[in-house]
Chain A
Amino acid sequence: MKHKLSSAVTGTVGLLILLVLLFPLICTAALSVFSPVDLGFYYFHGNAIDSLKLIPDNFTLAQYAQALLYNTDYTRAFTNSVLYTTLTVLLAAVTALPAAYALVFCRLRSRKIILVLLFAIMVLPIQAVEIPQWLMMRKWGLLGSDASIILTGVIEPFDVLLLTIFFSAVPRETLEAAAVDGAGTIRTMVRIVFPQAMHGIVLMFLLKFIQIWNMTEQPVLFLDDTTHQPLSVMLSALCEANTASAFGFSMVFLLPPLLLYGVFGDRTQHAIPYSIQK
Protein backbone atom coordinates (compact mmCIF):
# COMPACT_ATOMS: atom_id res chain seq x y z
CA MET A 1 0.00 0.00 0.00
CA LYS A 2 2.72 2.40 1.07
CA HIS A 3 4.76 1.45 -1.97
CA LYS A 4 1.86 2.12 -4.32
CA LEU A 5 1.30 5.55 -2.79
CA SER A 6 4.94 6.59 -3.12
CA SER A 7 5.09 5.46 -6.73
CA ALA A 8 1.93 7.47 -7.44
CA VAL A 9 3.53 10.55 -5.88
CA THR A 10 6.83 10.23 -7.78
CA GLY A 11 4.84 9.53 -10.94
CA THR A 12 2.77 12.69 -10.56
CA VAL A 13 5.72 14.88 -9.66
CA GLY A 14 7.70 13.41 -12.55
CA LEU A 15 4.86 14.02 -14.97
CA LEU A 16 4.53 17.60 -13.75
CA ILE A 17 8.22 18.32 -14.30
CA LEU A 18 8.01 16.88 -17.81
CA LEU A 19 4.99 19.06 -18.48
CA VAL A 20 6.89 22.17 -17.36
CA LEU A 21 9.85 21.21 -19.58
CA LEU A 22 7.53 20.67 -22.52
CA PHE A 23 5.39 23.72 -21.87
CA PRO A 24 7.24 26.18 -24.16
CA LEU A 25 6.88 23.70 -27.01
CA ILE A 26 3.21 23.05 -26.26
CA CYS A 27 2.62 26.78 -26.06
CA THR A 28 4.38 27.46 -29.37
CA ALA A 29 2.47 24.66 -31.09
CA ALA A 30 -0.87 25.85 -29.70
CA LEU A 31 -0.34 29.50 -30.64
CA SER A 32 0.86 28.55 -34.13
CA VAL A 33 -2.70 27.62 -35.13
CA PHE A 34 -4.19 30.89 -33.86
CA SER A 35 -5.35 33.34 -36.50
CA PRO A 36 -3.27 36.52 -36.64
CA VAL A 37 -6.28 38.58 -35.52
CA ASP A 38 -6.78 36.41 -32.44
CA LEU A 39 -3.09 36.62 -31.56
CA GLY A 40 -3.32 40.39 -31.66
CA PHE A 41 -6.50 40.31 -29.59
CA TYR A 42 -5.25 37.96 -26.85
CA TYR A 43 -1.53 38.62 -26.75
CA PHE A 44 -0.05 41.53 -28.67
CA HIS A 45 -2.45 44.27 -27.57
CA GLY A 46 0.28 46.39 -26.06
CA ASN A 47 -0.78 45.79 -22.45
CA ALA A 48 0.35 43.14 -20.02
CA ILE A 49 -0.91 39.65 -20.82
CA ASP A 50 -3.29 38.51 -18.10
CA SER A 51 -3.62 34.82 -18.98
CA LEU A 52 -2.22 32.30 -21.45
CA LYS A 53 -5.01 31.28 -23.77
CA LEU A 54 -3.96 28.12 -25.58
CA ILE A 55 -7.16 26.90 -27.25
CA PRO A 56 -7.69 28.75 -30.56
CA ASP A 57 -11.04 30.37 -31.33
CA ASN A 58 -10.53 29.77 -35.02
CA PHE A 59 -8.18 26.96 -35.99
CA THR A 60 -6.13 28.08 -39.00
CA LEU A 61 -2.88 27.24 -40.72
CA ALA A 62 -2.43 30.82 -41.90
CA GLN A 63 0.85 31.20 -40.00
CA TYR A 64 2.26 28.07 -41.64
CA ALA A 65 1.18 29.31 -45.05
CA GLN A 66 3.01 32.57 -44.38
CA ALA A 67 6.17 30.68 -43.51
CA LEU A 68 6.13 28.15 -46.31
CA LEU A 69 4.56 30.09 -49.18
CA TYR A 70 4.18 33.83 -48.87
CA ASN A 71 7.04 35.24 -46.85
CA THR A 72 9.94 35.11 -49.32
CA ASP A 73 12.50 36.15 -46.69
CA TYR A 74 11.48 33.19 -44.59
CA THR A 75 11.47 30.65 -47.43
CA ARG A 76 14.87 31.86 -48.60
CA ALA A 77 16.40 31.55 -45.14
CA PHE A 78 14.80 28.13 -44.78
CA THR A 79 16.31 26.95 -48.08
CA ASN A 80 19.70 28.28 -47.01
CA SER A 81 19.47 26.32 -43.77
CA VAL A 82 18.55 23.11 -45.58
CA LEU A 83 21.47 23.56 -47.98
CA TYR A 84 24.07 24.35 -45.30
CA THR A 85 22.92 21.63 -42.94
CA THR A 86 22.71 18.87 -45.55
CA LEU A 87 26.13 19.59 -47.01
CA THR A 88 27.79 20.00 -43.63
CA VAL A 89 26.36 16.79 -42.22
CA LEU A 90 27.31 14.85 -45.37
CA LEU A 91 30.87 16.16 -45.33
CA ALA A 92 31.11 15.44 -41.60
CA ALA A 93 29.97 11.88 -42.27
CA VAL A 94 32.55 11.09 -44.93
CA THR A 95 35.36 12.45 -42.76
CA ALA A 96 34.30 11.51 -39.22
CA LEU A 97 33.17 7.92 -39.82
CA PRO A 98 36.49 6.65 -41.28
CA ALA A 99 38.44 8.69 -38.72
CA ALA A 100 36.59 7.08 -35.83
CA TYR A 101 37.03 3.65 -37.41
CA ALA A 102 40.77 4.17 -37.72
CA LEU A 103 41.06 5.36 -34.13
CA VAL A 104 39.31 2.29 -32.79
CA PHE A 105 40.39 -0.58 -35.04
CA CYS A 106 43.70 0.34 -36.67
CA ARG A 107 46.87 0.01 -34.67
CA LEU A 108 48.12 3.57 -34.71
CA ARG A 109 51.18 4.57 -32.76
CA SER A 110 49.93 8.15 -32.46
CA ARG A 111 46.45 7.11 -31.36
CA LYS A 112 46.74 8.54 -27.87
CA ILE A 113 48.10 11.90 -29.03
CA ILE A 114 45.34 12.26 -31.61
CA LEU A 115 42.66 11.48 -29.05
CA VAL A 116 44.06 14.06 -26.64
CA LEU A 117 44.27 16.61 -29.44
CA LEU A 118 40.67 15.99 -30.49
CA PHE A 119 39.53 16.24 -26.89
CA ALA A 120 41.35 19.54 -26.46
CA ILE A 121 39.78 20.97 -29.63
CA MET A 122 36.35 19.81 -28.49
CA VAL A 123 36.61 21.64 -25.19
CA LEU A 124 37.64 24.93 -26.84
CA PRO A 125 34.87 27.53 -26.69
CA ILE A 126 33.45 28.40 -30.08
CA GLN A 127 34.27 32.00 -29.17
CA ALA A 128 37.98 31.17 -29.18
CA VAL A 129 37.86 29.68 -32.66
CA GLU A 130 35.45 31.95 -34.51
CA ILE A 131 37.74 34.97 -34.75
CA PRO A 132 40.78 33.00 -35.99
CA GLN A 133 38.50 31.36 -38.55
CA TRP A 134 37.14 34.74 -39.60
CA LEU A 135 40.68 36.07 -40.11
CA MET A 136 41.55 33.03 -42.19
CA MET A 137 38.41 33.29 -44.34
CA ARG A 138 39.19 36.94 -44.89
CA LYS A 139 42.71 36.09 -45.98
CA TRP A 140 41.44 33.46 -48.42
CA GLY A 141 38.69 35.72 -49.74
CA LEU A 142 36.00 33.30 -48.62
CA LEU A 143 34.09 35.73 -46.39
CA GLY A 144 30.44 35.89 -47.40
CA SER A 145 30.59 32.58 -49.28
CA ASP A 146 28.52 29.50 -48.51
CA ALA A 147 31.74 27.48 -48.34
CA SER A 148 32.95 29.43 -45.29
CA ILE A 149 29.87 28.33 -43.34
CA ILE A 150 29.90 24.73 -44.48
CA LEU A 151 33.63 24.15 -43.97
CA THR A 152 33.77 25.50 -40.43
CA GLY A 153 30.85 23.29 -39.42
CA VAL A 154 32.39 20.03 -40.61
CA ILE A 155 35.19 19.57 -38.11
CA GLU A 156 33.78 19.08 -34.63
CA PRO A 157 35.75 16.44 -32.70
CA PHE A 158 32.70 15.71 -30.56
CA ASP A 159 31.37 13.68 -33.52
CA VAL A 160 34.47 11.50 -33.81
CA LEU A 161 34.81 10.98 -30.07
CA LEU A 162 31.15 10.00 -29.77
CA LEU A 163 31.54 7.54 -32.65
CA THR A 164 34.65 5.93 -31.15
CA ILE A 165 32.62 5.07 -28.05
CA PHE A 166 30.08 3.13 -30.12
CA PHE A 167 32.68 1.54 -32.38
CA SER A 168 34.57 0.24 -29.34
CA ALA A 169 31.49 -1.76 -28.39
CA VAL A 170 31.59 -3.71 -31.67
CA PRO A 171 33.03 -7.19 -30.94
CA ARG A 172 36.45 -7.60 -32.53
CA GLU A 173 35.78 -11.23 -33.43
CA THR A 174 33.33 -10.10 -36.11
CA LEU A 175 36.12 -8.07 -37.71
CA GLU A 176 38.53 -11.00 -37.54
CA ALA A 177 35.93 -13.23 -39.15
CA ALA A 178 35.55 -10.72 -41.95
CA ALA A 179 39.33 -10.64 -42.40
CA VAL A 180 39.43 -14.42 -42.66
CA ASP A 181 36.79 -14.19 -45.38
CA GLY A 182 39.13 -11.84 -47.21
CA ALA A 183 37.17 -8.59 -46.77
CA GLY A 184 39.20 -5.41 -47.18
CA THR A 185 39.24 -2.51 -44.74
CA ILE A 186 36.58 -0.43 -46.49
CA ARG A 187 34.32 -3.45 -46.84
CA THR A 188 34.76 -4.40 -43.19
CA MET A 189 34.03 -0.85 -42.13
CA VAL A 190 30.86 -0.42 -44.19
CA ARG A 191 29.48 -3.94 -43.96
CA ILE A 192 30.54 -5.09 -40.50
CA VAL A 193 31.18 -2.13 -38.21
CA PHE A 194 28.63 0.46 -39.35
CA PRO A 195 25.58 -1.82 -39.10
CA GLN A 196 26.55 -2.95 -35.61
CA ALA A 197 27.08 0.61 -34.42
CA MET A 198 24.00 1.98 -36.17
CA HIS A 199 22.36 3.34 -33.01
CA GLY A 200 25.42 5.42 -32.24
CA ILE A 201 25.81 6.65 -35.80
CA VAL A 202 22.19 7.74 -35.85
CA LEU A 203 22.62 9.54 -32.53
CA MET A 204 25.69 11.34 -33.83
CA PHE A 205 23.89 12.40 -37.02
CA LEU A 206 20.89 13.62 -35.09
CA LEU A 207 22.98 15.69 -32.67
CA LYS A 208 25.09 17.03 -35.53
CA PHE A 209 21.99 18.01 -37.48
CA ILE A 210 20.54 19.84 -34.47
CA GLN A 211 23.84 21.58 -33.85
CA ILE A 212 24.23 22.83 -37.43
CA TRP A 213 20.54 23.61 -37.86
CA ASN A 214 20.83 25.96 -34.87
CA MET A 215 24.22 27.50 -35.70
CA THR A 216 24.49 31.21 -35.01
CA GLU A 217 27.99 32.44 -34.25
CA GLN A 218 29.84 31.72 -37.50
CA PRO A 219 27.13 32.87 -39.96
CA VAL A 220 26.68 36.11 -38.02
CA LEU A 221 30.41 36.83 -38.38
CA PHE A 222 31.12 35.41 -41.84
CA LEU A 223 28.07 36.52 -43.82
CA ASP A 224 27.11 40.17 -44.01
CA ASP A 225 24.46 39.67 -46.68
CA THR A 226 21.15 38.70 -45.06
CA THR A 227 20.04 36.82 -48.19
CA HIS A 228 22.67 34.16 -47.44
CA GLN A 229 21.88 33.82 -43.73
CA PRO A 230 20.41 30.55 -42.46
CA LEU A 231 17.08 30.54 -40.70
CA SER A 232 18.70 30.01 -37.29
CA VAL A 233 20.14 33.53 -37.57
CA MET A 234 17.14 35.15 -39.21
CA LEU A 235 14.38 33.55 -37.14
CA SER A 236 14.18 36.07 -34.33
CA ALA A 237 14.31 39.08 -36.65
CA LEU A 238 11.65 37.54 -38.90
CA CYS A 239 9.47 36.76 -35.89
CA GLU A 240 9.82 40.29 -34.61
CA ALA A 241 8.89 41.73 -38.00
CA ASN A 242 5.88 39.40 -38.31
CA THR A 243 4.50 38.91 -34.79
CA ALA A 244 1.22 37.72 -36.33
CA SER A 245 2.91 34.59 -37.70
CA ALA A 246 5.79 34.32 -35.23
CA PHE A 247 4.70 31.03 -33.65
CA GLY A 248 4.12 29.38 -37.02
CA PHE A 249 7.60 30.55 -38.03
CA SER A 250 9.08 28.84 -34.99
CA MET A 251 7.15 25.65 -35.61
CA VAL A 252 8.29 25.39 -39.23
CA PHE A 253 11.87 25.92 -38.09
CA LEU A 254 11.37 23.08 -35.64
CA LEU A 255 9.81 20.70 -38.18
CA PRO A 256 12.93 19.23 -39.89
CA PRO A 257 14.69 18.23 -36.65
CA LEU A 258 11.33 17.08 -35.28
CA LEU A 259 10.69 14.89 -38.30
CA LEU A 260 14.16 13.37 -38.07
CA TYR A 261 13.65 12.72 -34.39
CA GLY A 262 10.29 11.15 -35.13
CA VAL A 263 11.89 8.76 -37.63
CA PHE A 264 15.12 7.96 -35.78
CA GLY A 265 14.37 8.94 -32.19
CA ASP A 266 13.61 5.45 -30.93
CA ARG A 267 17.07 4.27 -31.92
CA THR A 268 18.79 6.98 -29.90
CA GLN A 269 17.03 5.74 -26.80
CA HIS A 270 19.14 2.61 -26.95
CA ALA A 271 22.28 4.52 -27.80
CA ILE A 272 22.51 6.88 -24.85
CA PRO A 273 23.27 4.30 -22.13
CA TYR A 274 26.30 3.15 -24.16
CA SER A 275 27.71 6.61 -24.52
CA ILE A 276 27.73 7.07 -20.75
CA GLN A 277 29.48 3.79 -20.02
CA LYS A 278 32.72 5.02 -21.48
Chain B
Amino acid sequence: MIGMLLLAPYLIGAAILILYPLSQTVIHSFTDTIDGEQFVGIQNFLSMKDSRAFQSAVSNSAIFYLISLPLMVVLPLIGAVLYTQNRRLDGLFHHTVFLSILLPTAALMQFADLLFSEIGMFTESLCALFDLPIGSLYDTPLARPLLILLFLFKYGGYNALVYYAAIRQIPEERYESAKIDGAGKLACFRYITLPALRPAFPTVLLLSVLNSYNVYREAFQIGGYYPHDSIYLIQHYIHNNFLNMNYTRLCCISVLLLCVGIGAAIICGILYRAGEGANET
Protein backbone atom coordinates (compact mmCIF):
# COMPACT_ATOMS: atom_id res chain seq x y z
CA MET B 1 0.00 0.00 0.00
CA ILE B 2 2.66 2.46 1.08
CA GLY B 3 4.75 1.16 -1.83
CA MET B 4 2.16 2.30 -4.36
CA LEU B 5 2.02 5.66 -2.60
CA LEU B 6 5.76 6.14 -2.98
CA LEU B 7 5.63 5.08 -6.60
CA ALA B 8 2.60 7.17 -7.48
CA PRO B 9 4.24 10.55 -8.22
CA TYR B 10 6.66 8.96 -10.66
CA LEU B 11 4.10 6.76 -12.37
CA ILE B 12 1.59 9.60 -12.68
CA GLY B 13 4.35 11.76 -14.15
CA ALA B 14 5.26 9.06 -16.65
CA ALA B 15 1.61 8.56 -17.57
CA ILE B 16 0.94 12.26 -18.14
CA LEU B 17 4.22 13.25 -19.74
CA ILE B 18 5.05 10.17 -21.79
CA LEU B 19 2.30 7.56 -22.12
CA TYR B 20 -0.62 9.94 -22.69
CA PRO B 21 1.08 12.05 -25.40
CA LEU B 22 2.32 8.87 -27.08
CA SER B 23 -1.17 7.41 -27.19
CA GLN B 24 -2.53 10.64 -28.66
CA THR B 25 0.16 10.55 -31.31
CA VAL B 26 -0.66 7.00 -32.28
CA ILE B 27 -4.27 8.07 -32.81
CA HIS B 28 -3.31 11.17 -34.81
CA SER B 29 -1.06 9.23 -37.11
CA PHE B 30 -4.24 7.67 -38.53
CA THR B 31 -6.27 10.88 -38.91
CA ASP B 32 -6.18 13.60 -41.57
CA THR B 33 -4.99 16.49 -39.37
CA ILE B 34 -3.87 16.61 -35.76
CA ASP B 35 -7.07 18.36 -34.74
CA GLY B 36 -9.26 16.39 -37.15
CA GLU B 37 -11.32 13.32 -36.44
CA GLN B 38 -11.31 11.99 -39.97
CA PHE B 39 -9.88 8.48 -39.99
CA VAL B 40 -7.67 7.90 -43.02
CA GLY B 41 -6.14 4.50 -42.25
CA ILE B 42 -2.49 4.04 -43.11
CA GLN B 43 -2.53 6.71 -45.82
CA ASN B 44 -0.21 8.99 -43.83
CA PHE B 45 2.34 6.22 -43.56
CA LEU B 46 2.09 5.40 -47.26
CA SER B 47 2.73 8.99 -48.31
CA MET B 48 5.67 9.20 -45.93
CA LYS B 49 7.17 6.02 -47.33
CA ASP B 50 7.36 7.64 -50.76
CA SER B 51 9.12 10.75 -49.49
CA ARG B 52 12.72 10.79 -50.69
CA ALA B 53 13.90 12.69 -47.64
CA PHE B 54 12.38 9.97 -45.43
CA GLN B 55 14.08 7.20 -47.37
CA SER B 56 17.45 8.86 -47.13
CA ALA B 57 16.98 9.60 -43.41
CA VAL B 58 16.16 5.94 -42.72
CA SER B 59 18.97 4.50 -44.82
CA ASN B 60 21.53 6.92 -43.36
CA SER B 61 20.47 6.05 -39.83
CA ALA B 62 20.64 2.33 -40.64
CA ILE B 63 24.13 2.67 -42.11
CA PHE B 64 25.21 4.70 -39.11
CA TYR B 65 24.09 1.95 -36.72
CA LEU B 66 25.48 -0.91 -38.79
CA ILE B 67 28.95 0.64 -38.76
CA SER B 68 29.09 2.32 -35.37
CA LEU B 69 27.47 -0.28 -33.08
CA PRO B 70 29.96 -3.10 -33.79
CA LEU B 71 32.79 -0.61 -33.34
CA MET B 72 31.25 0.59 -30.09
CA VAL B 73 31.19 -2.99 -28.79
CA VAL B 74 34.68 -4.05 -29.92
CA LEU B 75 37.01 -1.03 -29.62
CA PRO B 76 36.24 -0.21 -25.96
CA LEU B 77 36.77 -3.88 -25.11
CA ILE B 78 40.31 -3.69 -26.50
CA GLY B 79 40.87 -0.51 -24.50
CA ALA B 80 39.52 -2.03 -21.30
CA VAL B 81 41.68 -5.15 -21.62
CA LEU B 82 44.69 -2.91 -22.14
CA TYR B 83 43.95 -0.95 -18.97
CA THR B 84 43.46 -3.99 -16.79
CA GLN B 85 47.04 -4.92 -17.65
CA ASN B 86 48.29 -1.84 -15.86
CA ARG B 87 46.85 -0.90 -12.51
CA ARG B 88 48.65 2.40 -12.19
CA LEU B 89 46.37 3.99 -14.78
CA ASP B 90 43.25 3.06 -12.81
CA GLY B 91 42.13 6.46 -11.50
CA LEU B 92 43.37 8.36 -14.53
CA PHE B 93 41.34 6.12 -16.84
CA HIS B 94 38.18 6.69 -14.84
CA HIS B 95 38.62 10.47 -14.73
CA THR B 96 39.42 10.70 -18.44
CA VAL B 97 36.26 8.88 -19.40
CA PHE B 98 34.13 11.12 -17.22
CA LEU B 99 35.79 14.26 -18.49
CA SER B 100 35.18 13.21 -22.09
CA ILE B 101 31.51 12.70 -21.22
CA LEU B 102 31.38 16.13 -19.57
CA LEU B 103 32.84 17.85 -22.61
CA PRO B 104 29.95 19.64 -24.31
CA THR B 105 29.25 18.90 -27.93
CA ALA B 106 29.89 22.51 -28.87
CA ALA B 107 33.40 22.35 -27.40
CA LEU B 108 34.16 19.03 -29.07
CA MET B 109 33.02 20.54 -32.36
CA GLN B 110 35.16 23.63 -31.88
CA PHE B 111 38.10 21.29 -31.61
CA ALA B 112 36.95 19.32 -34.65
CA ASP B 113 36.67 22.62 -36.53
CA LEU B 114 40.35 23.30 -35.91
CA LEU B 115 41.13 20.04 -37.69
CA PHE B 116 38.46 19.48 -40.33
CA SER B 117 36.55 22.68 -41.20
CA GLU B 118 37.44 25.11 -44.04
CA ILE B 119 40.40 26.35 -42.03
CA GLY B 120 41.16 22.92 -40.51
CA MET B 121 44.68 21.60 -40.16
CA PHE B 122 43.99 18.29 -41.91
CA THR B 123 41.38 19.47 -44.39
CA GLU B 124 43.66 20.04 -47.36
CA SER B 125 45.63 16.85 -47.03
CA LEU B 126 42.50 14.71 -46.51
CA CYS B 127 40.77 16.33 -49.48
CA ALA B 128 43.82 15.59 -51.62
CA LEU B 129 43.98 12.02 -50.32
CA PHE B 130 40.37 11.26 -51.21
CA ASP B 131 40.36 13.30 -54.40
CA LEU B 132 37.76 15.81 -53.19
CA PRO B 133 37.47 19.51 -53.98
CA ILE B 134 39.17 21.55 -51.25
CA GLY B 135 36.65 22.77 -48.69
CA SER B 136 35.19 21.89 -45.31
CA LEU B 137 35.08 18.12 -44.84
CA TYR B 138 31.63 18.54 -43.38
CA ASP B 139 30.22 19.00 -46.88
CA THR B 140 31.83 15.89 -48.34
CA PRO B 141 31.08 12.16 -48.08
CA LEU B 142 33.73 12.16 -45.34
CA ALA B 143 31.10 13.71 -43.06
CA ARG B 144 29.78 10.23 -42.29
CA PRO B 145 33.02 8.66 -41.05
CA LEU B 146 33.66 11.88 -39.18
CA LEU B 147 30.31 11.62 -37.41
CA ILE B 148 30.99 7.98 -36.49
CA LEU B 149 34.43 8.98 -35.20
CA LEU B 150 32.92 11.71 -33.02
CA PHE B 151 30.35 9.24 -31.67
CA LEU B 152 33.04 6.69 -30.78
CA PHE B 153 35.16 9.40 -29.28
CA LYS B 154 32.47 10.81 -27.08
CA TYR B 155 30.80 7.63 -25.80
CA GLY B 156 33.32 4.83 -26.38
CA GLY B 157 35.03 5.50 -23.07
CA TYR B 158 31.83 4.83 -21.18
CA ASN B 159 31.60 1.35 -22.66
CA ALA B 160 35.25 0.74 -21.83
CA LEU B 161 34.43 1.58 -18.22
CA VAL B 162 31.66 -1.03 -18.17
CA TYR B 163 33.97 -3.74 -19.53
CA TYR B 164 36.70 -2.63 -17.19
CA ALA B 165 34.50 -3.01 -14.13
CA ALA B 166 33.38 -6.46 -15.29
CA ILE B 167 36.93 -7.64 -15.93
CA ARG B 168 37.99 -6.42 -12.50
CA GLN B 169 35.46 -8.74 -10.92
CA ILE B 170 37.11 -11.85 -12.32
CA PRO B 171 39.11 -13.43 -9.48
CA GLU B 172 42.85 -13.17 -10.10
CA GLU B 173 43.35 -16.83 -9.09
CA ARG B 174 41.60 -18.05 -12.20
CA TYR B 175 44.25 -16.46 -14.40
CA GLU B 176 47.01 -17.76 -12.18
CA SER B 177 45.82 -21.34 -12.24
CA ALA B 178 45.39 -21.09 -16.02
CA LYS B 179 48.97 -19.87 -16.32
CA ILE B 180 50.18 -22.84 -14.31
CA ASP B 181 48.33 -25.07 -16.75
CA GLY B 182 50.33 -23.39 -19.50
CA ALA B 183 47.66 -21.16 -21.01
CA GLY B 184 48.92 -18.13 -22.95
CA LYS B 185 47.52 -14.62 -22.77
CA LEU B 186 45.27 -15.18 -25.77
CA ALA B 187 43.87 -18.41 -24.32
CA CYS B 188 43.24 -16.63 -21.02
CA PHE B 189 41.29 -13.96 -22.85
CA ARG B 190 39.34 -16.47 -24.92
CA TYR B 191 38.41 -18.87 -22.10
CA ILE B 192 38.33 -16.68 -18.98
CA THR B 193 37.78 -13.01 -19.84
CA LEU B 194 35.30 -13.31 -22.70
CA PRO B 195 32.87 -15.71 -20.95
CA ALA B 196 32.98 -13.55 -17.82
CA LEU B 197 32.09 -10.52 -19.93
CA ARG B 198 28.94 -12.05 -21.33
CA PRO B 199 26.59 -10.18 -18.98
CA ALA B 200 28.41 -6.94 -19.84
CA PHE B 201 27.68 -7.10 -23.57
CA PRO B 202 23.94 -6.33 -23.37
CA THR B 203 24.71 -3.40 -21.03
CA VAL B 204 27.26 -2.03 -23.47
CA LEU B 205 24.89 -2.44 -26.38
CA LEU B 206 22.08 -0.76 -24.48
CA LEU B 207 24.26 2.18 -23.44
CA SER B 208 25.49 2.58 -27.02
CA VAL B 209 21.95 2.68 -28.34
CA LEU B 210 20.83 5.16 -25.66
CA ASN B 211 23.81 7.39 -26.39
CA SER B 212 23.28 7.14 -30.13
CA TYR B 213 20.00 9.05 -29.75
CA ASN B 214 22.13 12.09 -28.96
CA VAL B 215 24.39 11.81 -31.99
CA TYR B 216 22.12 14.21 -33.78
CA ARG B 217 23.68 16.96 -31.68
CA GLU B 218 27.02 16.35 -33.37
CA ALA B 219 25.38 15.91 -36.76
CA PHE B 220 23.56 19.18 -36.29
CA GLN B 221 26.79 20.97 -35.44
CA ILE B 222 28.47 19.50 -38.50
CA GLY B 223 25.85 20.48 -41.02
CA GLY B 224 23.02 22.50 -39.51
CA TYR B 225 19.44 21.71 -40.54
CA TYR B 226 20.43 20.69 -44.06
CA PRO B 227 23.68 18.72 -43.79
CA HIS B 228 25.50 16.67 -46.39
CA ASP B 229 23.26 13.92 -47.81
CA SER B 230 25.20 11.15 -46.10
CA ILE B 231 24.44 12.41 -42.57
CA TYR B 232 20.83 13.47 -43.10
CA LEU B 233 19.31 11.62 -40.12
CA ILE B 234 15.81 11.02 -38.74
CA GLN B 235 16.16 14.04 -36.44
CA HIS B 236 16.84 16.31 -39.44
CA TYR B 237 13.77 14.90 -41.14
CA ILE B 238 11.72 15.58 -38.01
CA HIS B 239 12.98 19.12 -37.82
CA ASN B 240 12.30 19.86 -41.48
CA ASN B 241 8.75 18.55 -41.18
CA PHE B 242 8.37 20.57 -38.03
CA LEU B 243 9.31 23.77 -39.84
CA ASN B 244 6.83 22.85 -42.61
CA MET B 245 4.16 22.27 -39.93
CA ASN B 246 3.56 18.80 -41.31
CA TYR B 247 2.25 17.49 -38.01
CA THR B 248 0.48 14.29 -39.02
CA ARG B 249 3.69 13.16 -40.66
CA LEU B 250 5.53 13.92 -37.44
CA CYS B 251 3.06 11.67 -35.63
CA CYS B 252 3.83 8.91 -38.15
CA ILE B 253 7.57 9.24 -37.49
CA SER B 254 6.96 9.09 -33.75
CA VAL B 255 4.91 5.93 -34.18
CA LEU B 256 7.60 4.30 -36.30
CA LEU B 257 10.28 5.25 -33.78
CA LEU B 258 8.04 3.91 -31.03
CA CYS B 259 8.00 0.55 -32.82
CA VAL B 260 11.77 0.67 -33.21
CA GLY B 261 12.13 1.49 -29.52
CA ILE B 262 9.89 -1.41 -28.46
CA GLY B 263 11.82 -3.70 -30.78
CA ALA B 264 15.10 -2.57 -29.23
CA ALA B 265 13.66 -3.12 -25.75
CA ILE B 266 12.63 -6.67 -26.62
CA ILE B 267 16.03 -7.49 -28.13
CA CYS B 268 17.82 -6.07 -25.08
CA GLY B 269 15.50 -8.03 -22.79
CA ILE B 270 16.28 -11.27 -24.62
CA LEU B 271 20.02 -10.56 -24.49
CA TYR B 272 19.84 -9.88 -20.75
CA ARG B 273 18.01 -13.15 -20.19
CA ALA B 274 20.65 -14.97 -22.21
CA GLY B 275 23.40 -13.24 -20.23
CA GLU B 276 21.80 -14.21 -16.92
CA GLY B 277 21.35 -17.79 -18.08
CA ALA B 278 25.04 -17.97 -18.98
CA ASN B 279 25.92 -16.66 -15.54
CA GLU B 280 24.01 -19.34 -13.70
CA THR B 281 25.48 -22.31 -15.50
Contact = CB atoms under 8 A, between A and B. Distances in A.
Interface in B230-281: 234-235, 238, 242, 247, 250-251, 253-254, 257-258, 260-262, 264-265, 268-269
Contacts of A15: 89, 92
A123 B4 CA distance: 24
A145 to B, nearest CB: 14
A75 B215 CA distance: 27
Interface in B66-92: 79, 82-83, 85-86, 88-89, 91-92
Contacts of A133: 17-18, 21
B186 interface: no
B161 interface: yes
The listed residue with most A CB atoms (<10 A of its CB), out of B101, B106, B119, B265, is: B106
A135 B28 contact: yes
Nearest to A153: B17
B254 A254 contact: no
Interface string A229-265: 0001001100100000011001101100110010001
A126 B213 contact: yes
Given A120-B261, A128-B261, A236-B109, A102 B7 contact: yes
A275 B119 CA distance: 43
B interface: dominant SS:
helix
B110 A250 contact: yes
Most buried by B among A128, A135, A269: A128
Contacts of B200: 276
Interface stretch (B36-44, B45-53, B120-128, B140-148): B120-128
A24 B115 CA distance: 11
A252 to B, nearest CB: 11
A52 B115 CA distance: 9
A18 to B, nearest CB: 5
A31 to B, nearest CB: 8
Nearest to B235: A127
Interface in B1-46: 2-7, 9-11, 13-14, 17-22, 24-25, 28, 34
Given A48-B124, A120-B265, A250-B107, A132 B21 contact: yes
Most buried by A among B14, B22, B166: B14
Given A124-B257, A247-B110, 14 more contacts: A7-B86, A10-B86, A28-B111, A48-B123, A52-B121, A94-B9, A101-B6, A131-B251, A133-B17, A133-B18, A185-B2, A265-B98, A272-B161, A272-B162
Interface of A: 6-7, 10-11, 13-15, 17-18, 21-25, 27-28, 43-44, 46-52, 94-96, 98-99, 101-103, 105-108, 114, 116-133, 135-136, 151-152, 154-155, 157-158, 160, 185, 189, 210, 214, 216-217, 221, 232, 235-236, 239, 246-247, 250-251, 253-254, 257-258, 261, 265, 268-269, 272-273, 275-277
Leading 4 A-B pairs by shortest Cβ distance: A106-B3, A128-B257, A132-B21, A99-B10
